[in-house]
Amino acid sequence: MSDAREKTAETDGGEGRPRPSDVGSSDGPPVDEKPYKIIFEANKCFGAGKCAEVSDNWEMDLQTSLARPNSYFISEDDLQENVRAAEVCPAKKDQGCIHVIDRRTDEEIAPDPHGDGTLSVDW
């Protein structure tokens, strides 16, 4: 286990929580191709649509009136627009329900409300 992963496990409290890179589908593309992963708390989304306004990866589902990503695994080229989507999401009292994770380090890049890279998913 790398030092970054050990640090993340320590800052998460190690309370049996999964590593961010293990949440959701684990059968994604190789990390070197798409090093970032989206964790989306769909149950917290209330359909404001701000993510879809700033990112081509996000769209509003007309059947559910909720947002959804076109891809959960993203490359460096798609990073900034997905970070912006996470930052503008007003759900969870402005902490957002879109989380961008660096699969190499298990750190949350956005929205990172705690400022320490730990996952801010509302389990």
With cut-offs at 50, 70 and 90, classify the pLDDT of residue 26: low
pTM (2 decimals)? Answer: 0.82
- Answer yes or no: is pLDDT of 11 > 70: no
Higher pLDDT, 18 or 36: 36
Q: How far is CA 90 from CA 4, 67, 76, 108, in A?
A: 29, 12, 24, 17
Q: Per-residue pLDDT tens for 40-73?
A: 999 999 999 999 999 999 999 989 999 999 999 9
